[in-house]
Structure 1
Amino acid sequence: MVLAAGITGFLVLGVGGDAGKPDAGPAGADTVPPSASPGEPRAGGEDGTAPLVPGWKTVVNPKRGIAFDVPAPWALKSTGWVSYVAENSDLEETPLVGFSAPAILKEKWCRSDDDGNGTQEDTPLAAAGSRGEPDARSTAEAARENARLWVYGSYAQPSKEKVTTGAAKPFTTRSGITGSVATATSTGVDGTGRCSYDGRATAFAFENPAGETVSWTFVGVRGVDDEVPEATVRKILSTVRLVDSTP
């Protein structure tokens, strides 16, 4: 799966990860079996994985012990699916930032061969996922860096000056998790490619009960008719909660 300037997705077999590299190279999104039937949550029950919003789906990252809800049209990837962004010029595709077990809205929203390599690439309208933040010095730093890197890597690169990152602010979810939220946007993407658009990302970072910093991030196209409304992004964010994690 490729998003705008270069979000790559792959299925991690055997072990989980947030932004590691696959052993056998990237796998196309259409090769990954769905983790749930359309309209059904990935998991249910009384363990925190039932949707908080009626009619929505629950997205679960079992490795990180994080769950959140998305509207019914969103598609859920498997819990072993990882998405990341890298510099377009980096042949090794060293991840700048990534997240696991994502949900994606309109995965084939735009299709093009903007880099002229003969391969048609799909740009989804939006995606959201969660990850660990082992290198973050604070939740505010983690939130701002996540938002900035997703917008730069997905939409603005190589022009870092086209990304504006807002200040991190306190935020508390419906379940009582308190952390820091920040939003970044791009402005003035040249649009030379058929699927070149400005974008935005909102990231929420917080500490789990073990004292580890973790995060949730939304990333999506900005300035189009079917852009995900800010109210919807905030509603999704409000459902972020802790669930039992798996080793």
Structure 2
Amino acid sequence: MWSGQPPGGGGNRAKAAAIAAATTVVVAVGVTGFLLLGSDRDVNANGGSRNTKAPAIASKSTTASAPASDNPRGSETERPTVPGWKVVINPKRGTAFDVPPDWDVKSPGLLIGFEDSKVDYSDPDNWGKVIIVMGAPAVLQESWCVSNDMKNGRVKSTSTALAATGTKGASGARSTGDAALGQVERWVYGGYTQPDTKSIIHDKAARPYTTKSGIKGSIAWARSRNTPQKGKCASDGKAITFGFKNSAGDFVAWSLYGATGVKNELPDSTIMKILGTVRLHGDPTES
């Protein structure tokens, strides 16, 4: 059960939202984050929310028990393509990929993402207005940075992860390149620069890419330079998104984002090695 936030927690940085599937009851994330009961069907290919009503916020007094194993995927099992790595499976999307052994693989029903810093979330009607989310995630160094920020006269503790990765649907995409370009910039904006957009550098066109399993699709990168955000955990960031089709012919987007210019920054070479393991995994349970 993820109890922290992905990058985005320092100073005036936007809060990160972790969202759980409607069938799961989970504990609220920290003080500045929250968990919603919803689905990534509520978020379109370009990241904007399609919710018109506020979903329910999970109670802070309830928790969901995770399976007692290294891979919280229940009966879903598969050997990693990289020896010693962990498998990350998204049954909803019919996809899988591997991450190094120091990553924490989360529940397949969990969504993580970033909310809009310009929205007043004290108003229940605004719940669910997120910038971007992804499901069945894996997180690197969940408590990489912890800050105590003053907001509304109160000190709030925020935990920031070094990097995170997962997959989501890309409903509305017209091509694999469209799926990649429509999402990648939002990860950097949501996690590292918002409300600023000028510090983001992103690919103008997606490039063809084929994983080791033979999945053909498109990749796009985005990075920030000299973000104006402040705070102990503020940093620049980078993201990559791989758009492709699952076995049902639906567009899917795998994304990974992480802090840059920091100690132990996740190297691009490792990111590409993780990307190379992306593959199909049975029939998706949701289209």
> Is the pair's TM-score, using the shorter chain for normalization, greater than 0.5?
yes
Q: Residue 169 of structure 2 aligns with which residue? A: 132
Q: Tell me the amino acid that sits aligned with residue 169 of structure 2.
A: G
Shift in Å at residue 226 of structure 1? 0.5
Q: Residue 7 of structure 1 aligns with which residue? A: 16
Shift in Å at residue 141 of structure 1? 1.8
Q: Residue 60 of structure 1 aligns with which residue? A: 89
Number of residue pairs aligned between Structure 1 and Structure 2: 243
Shift in Å at residue 114 of structure 1? 3.8
CA distance in 1, matches of 2:105, 2:21: 15
Shift in Å at residue 137 of structure 1? 2.0
Distance change >3 Å, CA 35–CA 162, structure 1 → 2 = farther
Who wins on radius of gyration, i.e. which is larger?
A: 2
Instruction: Give the SS at the match of 1:231.
Output: helix
Shift in Å at residue 37 of structure 1? 2.8
Structure 1 contact 41–51 (Cα < 8 Å) conserved: no
Structure 2 runs not aligned, ≥5 long: 9-13, 25-37, 43-50
Structure 1 contact 9–26 (Cα < 8 Å) conserved: no
Distance change >3 Å, CA 184–CA 115, structure 1 → 2 = farther
Q: Tell me the amino acid that sits aligned with residue 57 of structure 2.
A: G
- Residue deviations 1:200-242, cap 9 Å, x none? 0010001223221111000100111201111110000000000
Matched, 1:151 2:188: yes
The TM-score, its normalising length taken from structure 1, stands at 0.89
Shift in Å at residue 85 of structure 1? 1.4
Shift in Å at residue 41 of structure 1? 7.1
The TM-score, its normalising length taken from structure 2, stands at 0.77
Distance change >3 Å, CA 233–CA 27, structure 1 → 2 = farther
CA distance in 1, matches of 2:83, 2:59: 33
Q: Residue 238 of structure 2 aligns with which residue? A: 200
Identity of aligned residues (%): 40
Structure 1 runs not aligned, ≥5 long: none
Q: Residue 40 of structure 2 aligns with which residue? A: 18
CA distance in 2, matches of 1:191, 1:96: 17
Instruction: Give the SS at the match of 2:135.
Output: strand
Structure 1 contact 182–203 (Cα < 8 Å) conserved: yes
Shift in Å at residue 115 of structure 1? 5.7
Q: Residue 133 of structure 2 aligns with which residue? A: 98
Task: Tell me the C-alpha RMSD between the 2 structures.
Answer: 2.4
CA distance in 2, matches of 1:136, 1:95: 19
Q: Tell me the amino acid that sits aligned with residue 145 of structure 1.
A: G
